[in-house]
Amino acid sequence: MPTIGELHEVYSNNPNGLLQTINSIYDRIEKEGLKPIWISIVPREKVLKRVEELLSISQDDRDAYPLFGIPFAVKDNIDVIDLKTTAACSSFADEKATKSAFVVCKLEEAGAIVIGKTNMDQFATGLVGIRSPFGICSSVFHKNFISGGSSSGSAVSVGNGLVTFALGTDTAGSGRVPAMFNNVIGMKPTRGLLSCSGVVPACRSVDCVSIFAETCKDASIILSVAHGYDENDPYSRQLSFCSSPWIISSKFRCGVPTKSTRQFFGDTENGELFEKVIKTVETELNGEIIEFDLTSFVKVANLLYKGPWVAERYASVGKFIDEHQSDIDPTVFSIISKSKSYSAVDVFNSMYEIEKLKKETKELWKNFDVMLVPTAPRTFTIDQIQQSPIELNTQLGFYTNFVNLLDLTAIALPAGLRQDHLPFGVTFISHSFTDQALLLLADRLHRCLSTFIGCSTTHLLSNTQKLSMKENDEQWNCFLIGVVGAHLSDLPLNYQLIERNARFVRKCRTHQEYRLYALSNTNPCKPGLIRVNGSQGSGIEIEIWAIPNEYLASFVNLISSPLTIGNILLDDGQSVKGFLVESSGIETAKDITHFGGWKAYLNASEG
């Protein structure tokens, strides 16, 4: 299926483009059948009425609908009006939903079109995609291999081009593992950024709605539309911005697990592919690779299924499965029913344990900005999972289970094909509310590693738009500051930036009217920059740094007279806040403009 941008271009150039797109989807579903991808679909007639409504919107007004005419699918634990929400258990849904989930409404208000509800591991319990009475979804690359779960149908619907994007849910990795096995983007947003109102919970305290898309740009558009505070969801959160100076820096710190703490459970090729990805991050994305011990994160991951958090699944659907055991997948029943054995004491002890582990992992995070891990250690055939359903499921969550418990954000992306033509994938992970920064980074890597979208022949680089970035975007929660003197890289006061987690962005020059002076009686020696109208020169060398907003006040407080902060015009016409000098400060100062910068002056003085 074409991306959002491609479809909008089709709709602009072809008056019948939207109608043809929707009819082609339904024609294909009628030919291929509902199972195993779909559990239910919106009737064609109803969707065609929706198309008529959208086509009545004038061309000039369509910009107000960023998802105009974009078809999408919804995992069947998320409500869609007039369809039953089964969570892959028919007897669970007595009535059709009387309204759509909050997030579905947001998407439809933006012009998107719901096609139907997708298959899943029953009650979102599993990472395999085989625990459903509606059939087993397989990888779009091979019918004998698992699609991953629990959001199996959603990932497959995007991977095989039935829809442009799909909603899933993610508790332990259900929005990421299926993304790897079907060669698509899996966006696990910050918890609470997308409302869970109208979603059947698995573990309510750590659940989130996830996004499957063909590109990071599409995922970014969908996320910007779908997020929103929902007062009816007790876990909904207002959009905030985590300081992310690393995304606009010339270099970022990328944490990768040490080889001794990586796990591929017997698969050798995925380990080799992961090494190649690490090299690509280092050479193509200018990432500084920092190895760390994954052990503390694995301990957190173990708590999700080997600790009392699994009892939260019983709180959600336990009574129902006890009363309807014959309708429940045996593995799902075993996992949820056994959770009754945990006591309140167990819960508190595990809460104490996870707080301890949070402190351990927080110390590790001081060393890197983002984490890069394989999305899953390996893949399995459907037969292998059926023979060992719990053990192999646990292996699949090795790199995913800790993310929501630690309130992290993650983007799973395709990372090339194996020799057996099955897809490999990796995941970028960082702090909550770094969603857009992670998407930017993931888009860059996706374009380095992948050729085609999903299992199609659509070329990623030539057919899709890359995700662009603005240095001064407020969502990076950073302040750009220009330095020309002692705060330059490797000079005496640069540490004041470094200790505040500031990052070097770029080197450039000021407008030609600026003059530079060596100030008197300063320790360490400092220059003063001042603009003189009509002055002619080649500009002064300046470095742009990004400093997190929370550290700005303490940094500015260090500045003493005659230096000040003001607007500096650059030679490219842009302006930046930076160090200037009061006019009184240059009365006894030496004009050193002809050196072109402070470092050149210092080098000449030493010589």
- Of 150, 152, 236, 450, which one is the catalytic site residue? 150
CATH number of 4-463: 3.90.1300.10
Q: Is the pLDDT of residue 592 over 90?
A: yes
Q: What percent of the chain has pLDDT over 90?
A: 84
Are residues 589 and 569 in contact, defined by beta-carbon separation less than 8 angstroms? no
Quick one: pLDDT at residue 578?
A: 96
**Measured between alpha carbons, how far is 543 from 489 in angstroms, rounded to an integer?**
8
Taking the domains of the chain in order of start, what are their residue ranges? 4-463, 477-606
Between strands 590-591 and 514-518, the pairing is: antiparallel
**Residue 93 carries which side chain, given as an amino acid letter?**
A
pLDDT tens digits, 213-222: 999 999 999 9
What is the pLDDT confidence band of residue 180, given thresholds at 50, 70 and 90?
very high
362 is catalytic: no
pLDDT tens digits, 125-157: 999 999 999 999 999 999 999 999 999 999 999
**Measured between alpha carbons, how far is 217 from 70 in angstroms, rounded to an integer?**
14
> What average pLDDT does the segment 480-493 reach?
96
> What average pLDDT does the segment 443-469 reach?
88
> What average pLDDT does the segment 424-451 reach?
95
What is the pLDDT confidence band of residue 607, given thresholds at 50, 70 and 90?
low
**Measured between alpha carbons, how far is 375 from 397 in angstroms, rounded to an integer?**
9
Q: Give exposure, 74-100, as e/b (b: 16+ Cβ within 10 Å).
A: bbbbbbbbebbbbbbbeebbeeebeeb
Task: Return the sign of the alpha-carbon dihedral for residues 157, 188, 438, 413.
Answer: negative
CATH architecture of 477-606: Roll (3.10)
> What average pLDDT does the segment 423-446 reach?
96
Quick one: pLDDT at residue 453?
A: 87
Tokens of 368: 């890197």
Name the least confident of 50-64, 171-185, 340-354, 358-372.
340-354
Instruction: Give the DSSP per-residue string, 399-435.
Output: TTTHHHHTTEEEEEEEEEE-TTS-EEEEEEEEETT-H
Tokens of 576: 């930046």
pLDDT tens digits, 230-247: 999 999 999 989 989 999
Is 278 strand, coil or helix?
helix
Are residues 155 and 148 in contact, defined by beta-carbon separation less than 8 angstroms? yes
The length of the chain, given as a count of residues: 607
Quick one: pLDDT at residue 304?
A: 85
User: Tokens 């750009």 label which residue?
Assistant: 480
Quick one: pLDDT at residue 10?
A: 95
Q: Is the pLDDT of residue 471 over 90?
A: no
- Of 174, 236, 243, 244, which one is the catalytic site residue? 174
Are residues 392 and 384 in contact, defined by beta-carbon separation less than 8 angstroms? yes
Which residues fall within 8 angstroms of residue 426, CB to CB, at 6 or more apart? 274, 277, 372, 373, 374, 375, 412, 413, 415, 445
> What average pLDDT does the segment 533-544 reach?
92
Are residues 423 and 183 in contact, defined by beta-carbon separation less than 8 angstroms? yes
Are residues 278 and 256 in contact, defined by beta-carbon separation less than 8 angstroms? yes
174 is catalytic: yes
Name the least confident of 48-52, 300-304, 365-369.
300-304
Name the average pLDDT for the chain: 94
> What average pLDDT does the segment 404-432 reach?
96
pLDDT tens digits, 62-90: 999 999 999 999 999 999 999 999 999 99
More confident residue, 109 or 250: 109
Q: What is the pTM of this model?
A: 0.93
Quick one: pLDDT at residue 64?
A: 94
Residue 516: phi, psi to the nearest 5?
Answer: -120, 135
More confident residue, 452 or 386: 386
388 is catalytic: no
- Of 75, 84, 117, 526, which one is the catalytic site residue? 75
CA Rg value for the chain: 27
Residue 453: phi, psi to the nearest 5?
Answer: -95, 130
**Residue 415 carries which side chain, given as an amino acid letter?**
A
> What average pLDDT does the segment 186-213 reach?
96
Q: Which regions of 23-135 does DSSP assign to beta strands (E)?
A: 38-41, 71-75, 113-118
**Measured between alpha carbons, how far is 374 from 516 in angstroms, rounded to an integer?**
50
- Which letter does DSSP use for residue 58 in this model? -
**Measured between alpha carbons, how far is 361 from 358 in angstroms, rounded to an integer?**
5
- Which letter does DSSP use for residue 506 in this model? E
